[in-house]
Amino acid sequence: MNYDAQLNKAKEHFAKIMVEQLERIERMKAGEDWTDYDKLKTIKIGVLGGDGIGPYISAHAKKVLEFVLAEELKSGKVHINDIEGLTIENRAAKRKAVPDDVLEEVKKYHILLKGPTTTPRKGDPWPNIESCNVALRRYLDLFANVRPVKVPREGIDWIFFRENTEGAYVLGSSGQHVTDDLAVDFTVTTTQGSERLLRLAFEYARKNKINRLTVVTKANVIKTTDGKFLSIAQEIAKEYPEVECDDWYIDIMTAKLVDPKRRTQFKVVALPNLYGDILTDEAAEFQGGVGTAGSANIGKRYAMFEAIHGSAPRMVTEGRAEYADPCSMIRAGAMLVRHIGLEDRAKKLEMALDICGSFEKKLVMTGRTTGASAGEFVRYLMDTLTDGSLERKWQSFQ
Ligand code: IPM
Ligand code: MG
């Protein structure tokens, strides 16, 4: 058998994507400054509704955000606008993960609040284009995916720092069918990409006086790339003697999250992209499911806040879109409020979410028409925020 032609094609492809990666490393080395929100005259927030239940839950989250940021909206410090066009129909028509005009518009904002978007896969009625989440994270260089999970009554208080632009995702759509029988995907770890994520996680631990940071990899098997991530973590850990750094493999970590005695020992967790994707879905399940978890995609220049779940198109076709839980998006909104420096208001919104969703539960959303609708739940949430009962209720549930 002579595979020369296929091998040459594969080598050419490999060389091309490696050059792209080396260029990316140079861009990371050049660096850029963090956006200073205090110095901005106006913080521009763009809302991308997405598709499926996305536009429904985003509209609710936007309403809550407008309420929480009323003062800043009035003074002109904050601007909130919708950005159209990130729907699956438009992405499919343009055959682009993020259509050019949408990306151009997105880049005019400092911060994005993004609803879930449908990610096509082989066999779907849609063309098999790349996930727009993944593309946006890459285009805007949102290198840290920060996902908190809390279950106070069980002593769970985790925050995951998922590397967001590398690993198995960086070339997710650049894998190759070398021959009909041989398919290859790539995973990439860079010094600069790992360092910036790990430093953010260690800094978070230091700032919040958290004495443990757990690094999760599969460095015993994925020796080169995961091995690199782990050894960089161990190097950086030396600069943070007050933070104990332990390392776990993803398989046993996944198991230990279900062990009630062991799981409370985890606090800050830093991990490569794919493990972070999987582990944070599992983690969110303890809190009440992926519908309850928000997430922040942080870069130096831009930041994007979103739910951690998908677009649930079936809820729309079955007429249940108004019953989709908007809490994930509202939690993402609270993270956004904290990110622009309004810690107090973020905390209050999170307290109200905990009271309504976990403690008091005067209204319960089930995702079905038998439960509360998102509109009813948001009214309940806003009442809890404004009727003067927040602190008292919070204390009584502690
Ligand atoms: C997430 C999602 C995405 C991911 C999908 C939609 C591509 O699962 O944000 O965790 O895998 O990152
Ligand atoms: Mg996921």
CA distance 142 to 138: 6
**Consecutive H or E run containing 335:** helix 327-339
Q: What pLDDT shows up at residue 303?
A: 98
SS3 state at 308: coil
Distance between Cα 169 and ligand 1 center (Å):
10
> What does pTM read for this prediction?
0.94
170 pLDDT more than 90 = no
* Residue pLDDT, tens place only, 276-305: 999 999 999 998 888 888 999 999 999 999
Whether the Cβ atoms of residue 70 and residue 385 lie closer than 8 Å to each other: no
Model confidence at 43: pLDDT above 90: yes
Residue appearing with tokens 């518009």: 105
pLDDT digits (tens, 9 = 90+) for 348-359: 999 999 999 988
pLDDT at 3: 95
Distance CA 317, CA 189 (A): 40
Residue 174 binned pLDDT confidence (cut-offs 50, 70, 90)? confident
Whether the CB of 308 sits within 6 Å of ligand 1? yes
In sequence order, what are the residues at sequence separation of 6 or more whose Cβ sits closer than 8 angstroms to the Cβ of residue 154?
260, 264, 286
Best residue among 117, 273, 277, 308 to mutate for probing ligand 1, ranked by most atoms within 8 Å of CB: 277
Does the 32-142+299-398 domain belong in CATH 3.40.718.10?
A: yes
Residue-wise pLDDT tens digits, 71-123: 999 999 999 999 999 999 999 999 999 999 999 999 999 999 999 999 988 88
Atom number, ligand 1, closest to the C-alpha of residue 277:
10
Would you kindly state where each structural domain of the chain is located, as residue ranges? 32-142+299-398, 147-288
Minimal CA–CA distance to 147: which of 269, 296, 251?
296
pLDDT confidence of residue 168: 92
With the most atoms of ligand 1 within 8 angstroms of its CB, the residue from 118, 133, 328 to mutate is 133
12 C-alpha vs ligand 1 centroid, how far in Å? 29
Distance 276 CA to ligand 2 centre (A): 8
Q: Please report the atom of ligand 1 found closest to the CA of residue 306.
A: 9
Kindly report the CATH class assigned to 147-288. Answer: alpha beta
Residue type, 381: L
Q: Mean pLDDT in the chain?
A: 95
pLDDT digits (tens, 9 = 90+) for 302-355: 999 999 889 999 999 999 999 999 999 999 999 999 999 999 999 999 999 999
Phi, psi values for residue 90, rounded to 5°: -70, -40
Q: In CATH terms, are 32-142+299-398 and 147-288 the same topology?
A: yes
State the average pLDDT over residues 370-379. 96
pLDDT at site 48: 97
Place of tokens 């849609």: 126
**Binding site membership of 51 for ligand 1 (Cβ less than 6 Å):** no
pLDDT score for 1: 80
- Cβ neighbours for 182, distance < 8 A, ≥ 6 positions apart: none
Using CA atoms, how far apart are residues 213 and 198, in angstroms rounded to an integer?
A: 10
Percent of the chain with pLDDT over 70: 100
Beta bridge partners of 161: 146, 270
User: pLDDT category, 52, cuts 50, 70, 90?
Assistant: very high
Report the alpha-carbon distance of residue 111 to residue 128 in Å, rounded. 28
* Residue 293 beta carbon below 6 angstroms from any ligand 1 atom: no
Six-digit token pair at 74?
Answer: 């009035």
Which of the four pLDDT bands, split at 50, 70 and 90, describes residue 177?
very high
Tell me if 171 CB under 6 Å of ligand 1: no
What letter would DSSP give residue 154? G
| Nearest C-alpha neighbor of 78 from the set 92, 62, 66 | 66
Q: Which pLDDT does position 139 carry in this prediction?
A: 94
Output the CA 393–ligand 1 centroid distance in Å.
35
Please name the amino acid found at residue 192: Q
Give Cβ neighbours of residue 215 (< 8 Å, ≥ 6 apart).
198, 229, 230, 233, 234, 245, 246, 247, 248, 269, 270, 271
34 and 143 in contact (C-beta within 8 Å)?
no
d(CA 57, CA 307): 10
CA-CA distance, 164 to 235, in Å (whole number)? 21
Instruction: Give the side-chain half-sphere CA count within 13 A for 60.
Output: 27
The pLDDT of residue 226 is above 90: yes
| pLDDT surpasses 80 at 172 | no
